[in-house]
């Protein structure tokens, strides 16, 4: 039950991202597309370091680190 709620939540987030990108592509004067926002963010060195740190944290905690012991489940 909990697993299906979590998966549904992630699918809702992905659907929201897709819808927002479609809206941004159709009306770029009111809502900036993701690539334009990233181009603007990456001009600042501090923001680049912050993005690198965020991706490192995400990768370490969700891809490489063992968060649960599979033998306990």
Q: What is the DSSP letter of 24?
A: H
Q: What is the pLDDT of residue 45?
A: 95
Q: What is the pLDDT of residue 69?
A: 66
- Extract the residue ranges of the chain whose pLDDT is less than 70: 65-73
Q: What is the pLDDT of residue 12?
A: 96
* C-beta of residue 31 within 8 angstroms of C-beta of residue 20: yes
The pTM assigned to this predicted structure is 0.57
Phi, psi of 72 (to 5 degrees): -75, -35
Q: What is the pLDDT of residue 22?
A: 93
């Amino acid at each position: 039950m909990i697993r299906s709620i979590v998966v549904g939540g992630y699918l809702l987030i992905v659907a929201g991202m897709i819808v927002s990108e479609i809206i941004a592509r159709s009306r770029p004067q009111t809502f900036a597309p993701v690539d334009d926002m990233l181009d603007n963010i990456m001009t600042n060195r501090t923001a680049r370091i912050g993005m690198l740190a965020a991706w490192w944290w995400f990768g370490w905690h969700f891809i490489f680190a063992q968060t649960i012991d599979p033998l306990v489940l």
